[in-house]
Amino acid sequence: MAKNLTREEFLTMLKDVLEVQEIPDPILKQVGDLVLNYRFSYVEIARCLVYNVDVLKHKIAIEYGIRHICLNLREKAEKYFKQLELDQRKQQGEAAKVVEYQENNIIFHISSLENKKRQPKQLDISDIDVTEGDS
């Protein structure tokens, strides 16, 4: 999720999470309350709601609003998304190392030879020098 959301981006996301065409006025008032009185950013509200729906698998009941969800999940959602970001950075770092390693090495994929049995080396008797008198 982006570090900053515009109000329009946030409202679009909120419609998706609530699964509504128009956001009810009580929800908009709760958003304003969270922003003004509790110093939530749009990103924090969005993270709380996404955490509630996607991670905890809870449905948001519009009649109860979102205020209590955000107040109860603020720290957990923040911790979850920080860990998610750290994991993504780690994966990107590992992927960059693999690409660098592959650019510096030639990699052979010889899976077609794995099933073939190794044949013993054949010795040609005519290649042996059998002269007498060797000491």
Could you report the per-residue pLDDT of 106-119, keeping only the tens digit for each? 555 555 555 566 66
Helices (H), 6-66: 7-18, 25-37, 42-50
Query: Is 86 a domain residue?
Result: yes
Task: Look at residue 65 in the predicted model and tell me its pLDDT.
Answer: 95
DSSP conformation class of 123: -
Sign of the Cα pseudo-torsion (39, 61, 12, 77, in order): positive
CB-count burial class (<10 Å; 0-12, 13-18, 19+) for 130: exposed
128 pLDDT band, cuts 50/70/90, is confident
Identify the CA nearest to 53 among candidates 5, 13, 25.
13
The verdict on residue 64 lying in a domain is yes
C-alpha R_g of the chain: 32
Q: Is the pLDDT of residue 70 over 70?
A: yes
Q: Average the pLDDT over 84-111 and give the result.
A: 72
Domain annotation covers residue 61? yes
Extended beta strands in 7-133, E state: none
Q: For residue 100, is it within any domain?
A: yes
pTM value is 0.67
Distance between CA atoms of 78 and 84, rounded to whole angstroms? 10
Q: Which domain holds residue 37?
A: 7-105
Mean pLDDT across the stretch 94-101? 69
For residues 10 and 45, is the Cβ–Cβ distance under 8 A?
A: yes
For residues 18-26, give the mean pLDDT. Answer: 95
Q: Is residue 83 part of a domain?
A: yes
What is the pLDDT of the chain when averaged over all its residues? 85
pLDDT score of 22 more than 80: yes
pLDDT at 124: 73
Q: How far is CA 111 from the centre of its chain?
A: 31
Q: In the chain, what is the greatest distance between 2 CA atoms, to the nearest angstrom?
A: 111
- Per-residue pLDDT band for 11 (boundaries 50, 70, 90) equals very high
Q: How many domains does the chain have?
A: 1
**Rounded to an integer, what distance in angstroms lies between the CA atom of residue 78 and that of residue 44?**
8
pLDDT at 55: 95
Percentage of the chain exceeding pLDDT 90: 61
Asked whether the predicted pLDDT for residue 38 surpasses 80, the reply is: yes
Arithmetic mean of pLDDT, 43-63: 95
- Structural domain includes residue 113: no
Residue 75 lies in a domain: yes
3-state SS class at 59:
coil
